[in-house]
Structure 1
Amino acid sequence: MIKKIKTEEAIGKPLLHDITGILESGFKGVVFKRNHIIKEEDVEVLKDLGKDHVYVGSLDKDQVHEEDAVLEIKDLLKGKNISTSEVSEGKISLIADCDGVLELNSQGLYQMNLIGDYTLATLKNFSPVKKGDKLCGARIVPLWTSRDQVEKAKNLAEKYFPIFQVHPYQHLRVGIIITGDEVYTGRIEDRFEGVLRNKLASFDADIIDVRKCPDDLQKIKEALDFYLSKDADLIIFTGGMSVDPDDLTPTAIKNSGARMIIQGLPVQPGNMLTIGDLDGKILIGVPGATMHAPITSFDFALPRIFAKIKLKREDFIKMGEGGLL
């Protein structure tokens, strides 16, 4: 049975939960851990923390302490390349074990948060993460919950497993094709190559070559075939991405026989991004906005490509919410 008693009457009894606070020293966090046996010298400290009363006793058999309720599901939440922190203040964190991209089972996350007492606060789906980054903070709202809620959470976590996983970045061989008569003839200076090299520098990219092509489908095809012969994993096309009749890049990607994943994203800047999959090789047409805008749709696609996450049209369509960059 749980009892709420005056703090001075609790000497010799164990605390039922962590006591947190901010001390004059500047410390902020757990001051007394769950099951701490209250001593006489603790009474004034507890009162300074606003604890004129504390909870002692034990839970009924159908009640589960907040920490235990989280601990029972932690291994069911984490997929590959994720570890967990120690439980503290009734909370536990999921931590990235490597650099990569976080992938969530969004429906599973939603169902977990619908249970009632459980709360899982996470980074956004497909967020690039670094080793050691916190991915999710999980806890229950009250100090204890019912066994029924815990079992429901466990069943959901098993059903949607893994709700969280991190895909590590992979080494990719990259070819770059820069199109446009004006660049090919030297009429204007190309600005794409420098931008792309800077963006690729954040990943394990082996740039095979950078080839410039006129607005000629046959020449673009020849450049593509060259990179395919060199076993490129990713081929980036620049220029010719608008809707003008002489903008040929999307046509070149389609003519390659690639399965078109998406042409045009609900993201600005970078609306005209085009992605195809040619037998596992990713072909991506990059809009001109990438040259002058610091963040575009390309910056959201690139981490997923290097993490070798399966690219799906519906995932890119969901980017419309928050897609006005």
Structure 2
Amino acid sequence: MEKIRVEDAVGAVLVHDMTQIIPGETKDARFRKGHVVQEEDIPVLLSMGKEHIYVWNQTPGLVHENEAAERLAKAVAGPGLTFSETKEGKVNLIAKHDGLIYASEKGILALNTLESIVLATLHNHRPVNKGQKIAGTRVVPLMIDEKVILEAEEIACNFNEPLLQIRPLQSYKIGIVTTGSEVFHGRIEDKFGPVLRAKAEKWGSNIIGQSYASDDVSMIQDKIREHIRNGAEMVFVTGGMSVDPDDVTPTAIRGLEVEMVTYGAPVLPGAMFLLAYYNGIPIMGLPGCVMYSRTTVFDLVATRILTGERLTRKDIAQYGHGGLCLECPECTYPHCPFGK
């Protein structure tokens, strides 16, 4: 710590908060601990009665907490992110647009194992809105050895993807095939269609058509093909997803010679979910819970596919940890553990 004249303090780092009192207006810290004194600060400090201030000795090889936080933020941030104002040695990462968080859990762990490095984020694949804070970074000491920052920057560069990014949901053309003889023959009203239309609209996609099929394998297959011929880039197939003998939807989808990802998911609600790819086009078999539960495995999977991600069986299996919905009286998703 060093005592110097205010006029000689440009570039120096304050070691404590400095309070400014303006009678009838304010009494608050005008300059915070760690602030780097600028030329324009000199008249303000003098007006506060400060002719001398205490600052950190400038030591080669040390980086101030503000600069360190800014360098960390830039090292981990990818597309879709911007930065808050640097304040008290901390920088927040902010979503530039709506979308899903894609976070490298291994990369975040690698950074946080470095001494004095702090990177705190929201969960991977969480939906976020433009302007939302998704992460914060800082270092613990006021001044940190630059070697640590350089190591952190190198770690971030060694990953194929940015450690943090926001991927927007793309607009897909979607077809719906609603199965079940009771709906096909008009004995009951379809309840699935309105739910799926509302979700697709919320996600920025378009339902280009909805067709109906009885519990007949060939008819279900024909309806799926028809939507694809009409330009569907994704198909939702509802109903007939359980293991009852007359529930033939999984059989129909498999019979299209699809690339089957999974029939079944370790998520409740949504255990009977099906995901397959037909000539690269995602086909989802949706269990009945999608119709009446506000959030299910469908919300977790469909949004990731809408970012352009191609999911694997392992991706679905990983939902088991955090895949239990507590079915709260008032749903607060995504502000809850579900799908995390």
TM-score category, normalised to shorter length: 0.7 to 0.9
Distance 1:264 1:229 in 2: 28
- Counterpart residue identity of residue 45, structure 2: K
Distance 1:151 1:289 in 2: 50
Deviation >6 Å, runs of 4+? 9-12, 23-30
Per the TM alignment, residue 279 of structure 1 is displaced from its structure 2 partner at its CA by 2.6
1:16 corresponds to: 14
Distance 2:303 2:18 in 1: 39
SS across alignment from 2:67: helix
Q: Specify whether residues 148 and 193 from structure 1 end up closer, same or farther in structure 2 by C-alpha distance, changes over 3 A only.
A: same
Unaligned runs of 5+ in 2: 326-340
Residue 73 (structure 2) pairs with residue 74 (structure 1):
yes
Distance 1:255 1:285 in 2: 13
- Counterpart residue identity of residue 66, structure 1: E
Query: For the Cα contact (< 8 Å) 1:81–1:97, is it kept in 2?
Result: yes
- Counterpart residue identity of residue 136, structure 1: A
Distance 1:209 1:152 in 2: 53
Residue 194 (structure 2) pairs with residue 199 (structure 1):
no
- Counterpart residue identity of residue 178, structure 1: T
1:105 corresponds to: 104
1:296 corresponds to: 296
Query: For the Cα contact (< 8 Å) 2:177–2:237, is it kept in 1?
Result: yes
Q: Specify whether residues 25 and 259 from structure 1 end up closer, same or farther in structure 2 by C-alpha distance, changes over 3 A only.
A: farther
Per the TM alignment, residue 20 of structure 1 is displaced from its structure 2 partner at its CA by 9.1
Q: Specify whether residues 15 and 147 from structure 1 end up closer, same or farther in structure 2 by C-alpha distance, changes over 3 A only.
A: closer
Distance 2:84 2:29 in 1: 15
Per the TM alignment, residue 27 of structure 1 is displaced from its structure 2 partner at its CA by 9.4
2:215 corresponds to: 215
Q: Specify whether residues 77 and 185 from structure 1 end up closer, same or farther in structure 2 by C-alpha distance, changes over 3 A only.
A: same
SS across alignment from 2:45: coil
Per the TM alignment, residue 269 of structure 1 is displaced from its structure 2 partner at its CA by 0.9
Query: For the Cα contact (< 8 Å) 1:266–1:320, is it kept in 2?
Result: yes
- Counterpart residue identity of residue 106, structure 2: Q
Query: For 1:164-175, what aligned pairs fall within 5 Å after superposition?
Result: 164-175=164-175
Distance 1:196 1:115 in 2: 46
1:116 corresponds to: 115
The superposition leaves residues 226-277 of structure 1 with CA deviations (integer Å, 9 ceiling, x where unpaired) of: 0111121110011111122322222222222222222222211111111112
1:181 corresponds to: 181
Per the TM alignment, residue 107 of structure 1 is displaced from its structure 2 partner at its CA by 0.9
Q: Specify whether residues 18 and 267 from structure 1 end up closer, same or farther in structure 2 by C-alpha distance, changes over 3 A only.
A: farther
Query: For the Cα contact (< 8 Å) 1:18–1:30, is it kept in 2?
Result: no
SS across alignment from 2:236: strand
2:36 corresponds to: 34
Distance 1:113 1:293 in 2: 37
SS across alignment from 1:72: helix
Residue 309 (structure 2) pairs with residue 309 (structure 1):
yes
RMSD: 2.8
- Counterpart residue identity of residue 39, structure 1: L
Distance 1:181 1:250 in 2: 16
- Counterpart residue identity of residue 324, structure 1: L
Per the TM alignment, residue 211 of structure 1 is displaced from its structure 2 partner at its CA by 0.8
Q: Report the TM-score when normalising by structure 1.
A: 0.85
Per the TM alignment, residue 30 of structure 1 is displaced from its structure 2 partner at its CA by 7.1
When the two structures are aligned, how many residues end up with a matched partner?
311
Q: Specify whether residues 30 and 240 from structure 1 end up closer, same or farther in structure 2 by C-alpha distance, changes over 3 A only.
A: farther
SS across alignment from 2:36: coil
Distance 2:98 2:312 in 1: 22
Residue 165 (structure 2) pairs with residue 159 (structure 1):
no
Query: For the Cα contact (< 8 Å) 2:72–2:138, is it kept in 1?
Result: no
Distance 2:309 2:28 in 1: 39
Q: Which moved more, 1:180-189 or 1:168-177?
A: 180-189
Per the TM alignment, residue 192 of structure 1 is displaced from its structure 2 partner at its CA by 0.8
Per the TM alignment, residue 128 of structure 1 is displaced from its structure 2 partner at its CA by 1.5
Query: For the Cα contact (< 8 Å) 1:258–1:277, is it kept in 2?
Result: yes
Distance 2:138 2:27 in 1: 22
Q: Specify whether residues 244 and 163 from structure 1 end up closer, same or farther in structure 2 by C-alpha distance, changes over 3 A only.
A: same
- Counterpart residue identity of residue 203, structure 1: W
1:241 corresponds to: 241
The superposition leaves residues 171-227 of structure 1 with CA deviations (integer Å, 9 ceiling, x where unpaired) of: 211000111122212222221111111111202222121111111110000001101
Distance 2:269 2:26 in 1: 44
Identical positions, percent:
33
Q: Which moved more, 1:10-19 or 1:256-265?
A: 10-19
Distance 1:19 1:263 in 2: 60
Distance 2:122 2:18 in 1: 25
- Counterpart residue identity of residue 292, structure 1: Y
- Counterpart residue identity of residue 36, structure 2: R
Distance 2:182 2:313 in 1: 33
Query: For the Cα contact (< 8 Å) 1:20–1:89, is it kept in 2?
Result: no
Distance 1:27 1:229 in 2: 69
